[in-house]
Copies of this chain bind each other. A is one copy, B any other.
Amino acid sequence: MFRVPEKEPRAPNACLGPVSTQGPDSNYGDGLERECSRKSTQKLPELYGVGDPTATFSCDSSHLSSRGRVIKWFWDSAEEGYRAYRMDEYDEEKNPHGIVNLGTSENKLCFDLLSKRLSQSDMLQVEPSLLQYPDWRGHLFLREEVARFLSFYCKSPVPLKPENVVVLNGCASLFSALATVLCEAGEAFLIAAPYYGAITQHVYLYGNVRLVCVYLDSEVTGQDTRPFQLSVEKLEMALQGADSEGVKVKGLILINPQNPLGDIYSPEELREYLEFARRHGLHVVVDEVYMLSVFEESLGYHSVLSLERLPDPQRTHVMWATSKDFGMSGLRFGTLYTENQDVATAVASLCRYHGLSGLVQYQMARLLQDHDWINQVYLPENHARLKAAHTYVAGELQALGIPFLNRGAGFFIWADLRKYLPEATFEEEMLLWHRFLDNKVLLSFGKAFECKEPGWFRLVFSDKAHRLRLGMQRVRQVLQGTSQVAEDPPFCQAQEQRDQHR
């Protein structure tokens, strides 16, 4: 395991990535919102998976600072799969041989409902107050709606308060701001892995904060009742490991419903994790961006804001956004809920860099206010469509004999393709991922989520039936060895093939 440097990094190979408590192969989960891939050719022998951007910029012709080069490198390396997709996007009529994207976690099932609602005449309101500098916490009318909305949908025991709300342009920004105001540079958050890999960048790029992974196993052992189960014992061990390495852990990040597992935590589990954090004086950042995307109603999701009593309310900070639950990742609306007014104010101070338009604030207030539409139109239809799509993909995987976590929340299925790797290595995982991409279907590989077992993949199912069918057909072709590389591959594909064989 490598040490976290005290000062600003000079090169990523000395500092990036979560701190492993398990061995020397710690590395970073790449990401972007559309976490897909990195260039497999950029790696260092001593730290598998960690690329070396300095090689690309050895002559420093870029005129960037060293951290600027790291920031750019994250973009370049994480964009490969997504860039290939954007250059060759599947379209039923215009580009039927294009790439089907089962990698990016977006809900594409309800644009009809959303377009209709957002096009209504109540959505376009232009008042002078909306065109002037706002309160950087967000306009009061919006914070009031957010408080009402969260009180209702999180089933809070008492009404939530507008003064505890800060709105901003998405949860990526919120991770960045919270990391900066809660941690010193070089300090860390605990997080259970596999996890949504983009968080690595969100806390690092501006905040220079690291992640300490609590690596979870697929094997069910000891007290576990399910694969990849998080327990207080594992949290304690990871914290001790970090401590013994001199890494200062300042908080714990919980994702509920979990991405990529689809797990939801029981109230008892939540309380145990929160008590663990309280005992150690740790902040808890609870990411609940999929809370309304629990399509299996019987599961009984519990928001952390539904708990009767928080063990340490001054250190408990909740995030939610419309990106996932309202299928609008391009709208850029997220919110913090915290009782800690100092944290709220410090985040608000950074919100001059994360602000959203007054016109959008008005639109979001109207949307969140419309419980009739949400309850009677949007949520029932969205859940039904998610369930149908999940059922289809789950059925396909079953037919292929592929083990997977069969959950009822989120947009994705965490699938076990380990038997398709000739060797249990991340190189082989990457090669399999490239075979999928060559066969025009984009998935997300487990390494992007810091999964410690090579061979797990995340498949996003929240898409229209015809794209799912085609995507799953292409997945099947690869796994059954019947795929055919297109006769006339476009430039990007040829480039990737070269990369692949280097």
Contacts and interface: CB of A to CB of B under 8 A. Distances in A.
A353 B206 contact: yes
A147 interface: no
Interface string A96-134: 000000001010100100110011000110111111111
Contact of A343 (B62, B75, B130, B176): B62
B349 A65 contact: no
Contacts of A205: 349-350, 353
Nearest to A135: B86
Contacts of A202: 352-353
A54 interface: no
B34 A133 contact: yes
A354 B169 CA distance: 7
Nearest to A315: B63
- Interface-centre pick from A75, A328, A349 (highest chain B CB count, 10 A): A349
A290 interface: no
How extensive is the interface on chain A, given as a class? 35 or more
Contacts of A365: none
Interface in A394-453: none
B353 A176 contact: yes
A146 to B, nearest CB: 16
State the copy count for this chain. Answer: 2
A183 B65 contact: yes
Nearest to A56: B342
A44 interface: no
B357 A65 contact: no
Nearest to A123: B124
A225 B67 CA distance: 42
Interface stretch (A212-220, A329-337, A475-483): A329-337
B181 A329 contact: no
B331 A181 contact: no
Contact of A114 (B108, B131, B172, B314): B131
A8 interface: yes
A345 interface: yes
Contacts of A106: 132-133
Contact of A355 (B68, B123, B332): B332
B67 A181 contact: yes
10 residue pairs, one from A and one from B, having the closest CB atoms: A68-B181, A62-B342, A75-B349, A330-B358, A72-B346, A111-B128, A118-B126, A115-B126, A173-B353, A124-B124
